[in-house]
Chain A
Amino acid sequence: MAQIVLTNDLGRQFTGGETTLDMDVTDVRDLIRKLDQKFPGIAEVLQDGSMAVAIDGNLHQDAWLEDIGPTSEVYFLPAIRGG
């Protein structure tokens, strides 16, 4: 299963402090849907554009359709803006 790591702020808001989870997911959209089933309300934050996701070290923003492999490491982090 893929290892999913949430930010401390997401853990504080939605998961009771749990930030590392093992989940069976196929892509980012599937991950967000399953996280929301487990932690209602988290999808709104994950989809409002404020968060990015790193899959196996590669940073993605607004990328629902990116594949997540069975052994992927997935980190949520604040979206990067830049100047």
Chain B
Amino acid sequence: MGVDGNYKWVGKRTVRPDGTDKVTGRALFSADSSMPGMLIGKILRSPHAHAKIKSIDTSKAEKLAGVKSVVIGKDFPNLPNKTISIGILAANFSEMSDKLMARKKVLYDGHPVAAVAATTSAIADKALSLIKVEYQVLPHVIDVDEAMKPKAPLLHKKMITVGVDPAPTKASNVASRCEFGFGDLEAGFAAADVIIERTFKTKPAHQGYLEPHGAVVSVAEDGQVTIWCSSQGQFMVRSYCARLMQIDEAQIRVIPAEIGGGFGGKTVIYLEPVAMALSGRAGKPVKMTMTREEVMRATGPTSGTSIDVKLGATKDGKLTAGEAELRYQAGCYPGSPVGPGAMTAFAPYNLENVKTVGFDVVVNRPQAAAYRAPGAPMSEFAVESVIDEMAQKLGMDPIALRELNAAKEGTTAPYGPKFGPIGNEQCLEAAKNHPHYSAPLGPNQGRGVASGFWFNVGGESVASVNINTDGTAVVLSGNPDIGGSRASMAAMAAEVLGIDYDKVRPIVADTSSIGYNDLTGGSRTTFASGMAVCNAATDAVDQMRTRAAKVWDISPDAVEWSEGHARPAGPNAGDFEPMSLADIARTSAKMGGPITGRAAINAQGAAPGFGTHIVDVEVDPETGHVTVLRYTAVQDVGRAIHPSYVEGQIQGGVAQGVGWALNEEYVYGDDGCLQNTGFLDYRMPVASDLPMIDTVIIEVPNEAHPFGVRGVGEVPIIPPLGAVANAVSNAIGVRMTDLPLSPPKILAAIKNGS
């Protein structure tokens, strides 16, 4: 190991272990599970954005032949109204339970009010139609700025803003205020020759995973619960279900299905506790699968936002001060990602005077869920747009302006600490020198550049490496494979063990087969679980070195491990024939039993990631349609364990970011109900909308990881919003500040010039 080493498997484009199953249809996703006697569960959802529930009558549904159980809000435990941390997540289980099944009020169109389990899907649908709910419709509010107004409809009559001193005496929709920064803003702006102030808006965007939420849940007669589901963390599902349903974690076994996309949206649960309640009452397994309409109406997109940015610079391009106020939609309960949005907004820059203030605002929409780099794409879009405009006003090249002010090792981040070794400058330099950046542009075409920053996290991971007697190995880890973790874990284990990649079988274990793992999120898995796998493999190697030492009757310290063999560490250790892993494994029974390496860690030292993107667009002046002509994404990944997967992560992030910038938008009617509940109307980019996305991998190793890994999956969704907006603005000569940049907005901007 070692971050600067030459590797046999790390950094190679190995065949993915799950590839055959996925291309042949053998892989099991959540909707593929079934059990004998299984019932079909379905949910009745609110048709109103905001209403009191006056009564629910389920009697007719319960009498329908084939209906085996019916549940409503009162059938779920009431829990303390307190936010607690579970691993790298935080949750208020009182609010979470109310989101699973409404109690006194519905807070958004699609809020669950009742659920049934029946012998067939048709009977379940019929039963839902027989449930009578009497509502008292209340005024609603969707837009974040409208929700902050004093006379806005209140979602929660007792909500007092946290983080304001003195505390307000009146309730509002503003759940909390946060603030970050340092320096003297007044002096910073006084020193500026140019000051730009702009307001930006972004719409909520859904994570857009192709696989809808689904689960099969079996509650046995003795109370043992088995759950087959797709999620970003089987242990998250177990923890949440145990707390929501008030049973011991040991009673629940969660078996992870393959996951058809998550992107943050499967760090929460919607169906599993409901299916538990239905299954427990019916005494039969229950399967629940959302429709696309349910996914769009009732699962978390990220926040829509409204952001003010003020930036000052001297005439030679030195940034003197940056200030931003960020207002984020939280959805029906507090918890928008405005905090990380405020922390990341100016992070790519070295600023002596900086302040960001964020407001978390409840509105009548589903609770915002995490979406790659939660909060950062919106805030960094706003700042990157102003940086681009500043470069134009100063007559500077936009990358040169960024290089002049780039955060580097030793720079104080806007959220407080100093950066360690980071690759921000290297990304900017690679972008500047890329042929894309100097390629000529045609009529109606524009080029945009933007940078992006994300923290990346570590967290708790457990791994086992079992050495088989034939010299192969099985690697068990506890994170669903979303972005290629099986291949990465196998490559790292093969590298440490010194055996071939195809001799290593990586397994994603269920919650009863391995110790606790934080979920797959926060760009943590290759870093943290990879570190656990490396440690577990090293543990196995140490055991094998010890066994070789016993055979040779020398000290274990006199045995080294290289290229899959135990060898005497030097001439003084003795002259012995090297023993291969297979040699040692073959005699494991005689030498103390099976060889199993283990590691259980809370991985520290996650290093931040930076990226710089370049995009060329062409705007049709007659229709306002934007064609993305060319896209180049540069990113510091620390070490690319599997370059193809790294490139895939970057390309996927770009595709989602381009959709957020150009097309994706929630459309609500006057009644507060979502109008575009399918992929035909909620327009995510498809292959024909995008050019081949070129990627440039920069490797500034993270010294905290055995192979130098930084998280990869979140940075690439950050720059596209700003880069695309800058490109369109430059193509039409009008600064565009309101995403998505749909054709009507672009035509209006061309017509009005503003």
Contacts and interface: CB of A to CB of B under 8 A. Distances in A.
A binds B: yes
Interface of A: 5, 7-9, 12, 48-50, 54, 56-63, 66, 73, 75-83
A9 B178 contact: yes
B343 A83 contact: no
A80 B417 contact: no
B484 interface: no
A59 B90 CA distance: 18
B523 interface: yes
B605 interface: yes
Given A7-B416, A62-B459, A77-B343, 8 more contacts: A5-B416, A50-B83, A59-B455, A75-B416, A76-B416, A78-B340, A81-B90, A82-B522
Given A58-B605, A83-B371, A83-B374, A9 B418 contact: no
Contacts of B369: 83
Nearest to A83: B264
Contact of A79 (B85, B265, B337, B714): B85
Given A50-B85, A78-B339, A82-B455, A57 B90 contact: no
B542 interface: no
Given A12-B165, A57-B420, A58-B604, A79 B88 contact: yes
Contacts of B90: 49-50, 79, 81
The 7 closest A-B pairs by CB, nearest first: A49-B85, A83-B264, A82-B522, A83-B370, A54-B417, A75-B416, A75-B417
Interface residues of B, number: 51
Contact of A66 (B86, B88, B604): B604
Contacts of B263: 83
17 contacts: A5-B416, A8-B180, A9-B179, A58-B420, A58-B604, A58-B605, A59-B606, A61-B88, A61-B602, A61-B604, A77-B343, A77-B416, A78-B340, A82-B456, A82-B521, A83-B207, A83-B263
Nearest to A13: B165
A58 B704 contact: yes
A62 B603 CA distance: 10
Interface in B245-270: 263-265, 267
Interface in B163-193: 163, 165, 178-180
A82 B416 contact: no
A80 B522 contact: yes
Nearest to B339: A78
Nearest to B711: A82
Contacts of B416: 5, 7, 54, 75-77
B626 to A, nearest CB: 26
Contacts of B455: 59, 80, 82
B602 A62 contact: yes
A48 B91 CA distance: 12
Nearest to B420: A57
Contacts of B418: 56-57, 73
B372 interface: yes
A81 B89 contact: yes
B370 A81 contact: yes
Q: Which of A58, A76, A77, A83 has the most CB of B within 10 A?
A: A83
Contact of A63 (B179, B207, B371, B602): B602
Interface string B601-620: 01011101000000000000
B479 to A, nearest CB: 13
B457 interface: yes
Contact of A61 (B165, B420, B457): B457
Interface in B91-132: none
